[in-house]
């Protein structure tokens, strides 16, 4: 017995309160040979229910929705354990005050609603593999958003004491929204060496991905908005 075509595709659930947006995403996602839309949700409650029922690989999640917003929906989805889907936030971003809450709730990445179609498809594929999607341009928007939040603790926690000077330096560059290639050029290192340092940071700081590194750097005060 052979697998059906859908079983070999990345399965996507779309959660957005605007019907036209959902329809546009469905047409785009279904146009890709390796992706398929399992269903649509008009609010966070439906997103949670359909996630449990359909078991998608990726949820495209709007933050601002009625009945239950995307943040609360992500918390319910994350409560289902490690086997749950990866969540890709689709947002206007500069109008959302809850970017960091989304990351804390388990978002794997962000894509702007006005992004080119090919970027959305790429983003779905990236988070489906378990990688974080946090491009330098989006990271810089995060920094701007964080600068408007209450001041982070001035004293880094003890876990940061385990970092070497070089690892701390790399962390500062990651938090500034720089790519591995940009960090390598600035610090006169190879890209492979930078990747190694980032991997060690993830391990030492016990965080899931690059997105979590950025949050930790700003929340602990190791990096100050506007200082880089």
pLDDT tens-digit readout, 23-35: 999 999 999 999 9
- For the cut 80, the answer to whether the pLDDT of residue 66 exceeds it is yes
| pTM for this entry | 0.69
Q: What are phi and psi of 13, to 5 degrees?
A: -110, 135
- For the cut 90, the answer to whether the pLDDT of residue 151 exceeds it is no
CA-closest candidate to residue 13, choices 67, 101, 90: 90
Confidence of residue 127 (pLDDT cuts 50, 70, 90): confident
pLDDT at 86: 87
pLDDT tens-digit readout, 83-124: 778 899 887 765 556 666 777 777 888 888 888 999 999 989
Alpha-carbon distance 193 to 65, whole Å?
42
Domains plus CATH for the chain?
5-133 (3.40.50.2300), 151-219 (1.10.10.10)
58-61, strands of its sheet edge to edge: 35-41, 10-15, 58-61, 86-91, 107-112
Token pair 């899931």 is at which residue?
208
CA-closest candidate to residue 156, choices 140, 141, 172: 172
Alpha-carbon distance 78 to 142, whole Å?
22
Confidence of residue 40 (pLDDT cuts 50, 70, 90): very high
Question: Dmax over Cα atoms in the chain, in whole Å?
Answer: 60
């Amino acid at each position: 017995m052979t697998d059906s075509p859908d079983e070999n595709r990345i399965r996507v659930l779309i959660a957005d309160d605007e019907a036209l947006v959902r329809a546009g995403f469905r047409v785009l996602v279904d146009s890709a040979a390796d992706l398929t839309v399992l269903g649509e949700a008009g609010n966070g409650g439906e997103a949670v229910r359909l996630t449990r029922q359909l078991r998608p690989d990726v949820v495209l999640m709007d933050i601002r929705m009625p009945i239950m917003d995307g943040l609360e929906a992500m918390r319910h989805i994350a409560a289902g354990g490690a086997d749950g889907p990866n969540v890709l936030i689709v947002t206007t971003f500069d109008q959302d005050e809850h970017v960091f809450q989304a990351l804390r709730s388990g978002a794997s990445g962000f894509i702007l609603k006005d992004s080119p179609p090919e970027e959305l498809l790429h983003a779905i594929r990236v988070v489906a593999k378990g990688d974080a999607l946090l491009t330098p341009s989006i990271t810089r928007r995060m920094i701007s958003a964080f600068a408007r939040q209450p001041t982070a603790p001035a004293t880094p926690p003890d876990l940061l004491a385990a970092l070497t000077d070089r690892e701390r330096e790399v962390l500062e560059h990651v938090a500034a929204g720089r790519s591995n290639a940009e960090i390598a050029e600035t610090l006169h290192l190879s890209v492979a060496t930078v990747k190694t340092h980032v991997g060690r940071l993830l391990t030492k700081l016990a965080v899931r991905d690059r997105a979590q590194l950025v949050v930790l750097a700003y929340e602990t005060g190791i990096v100050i908005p506007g200082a880089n």
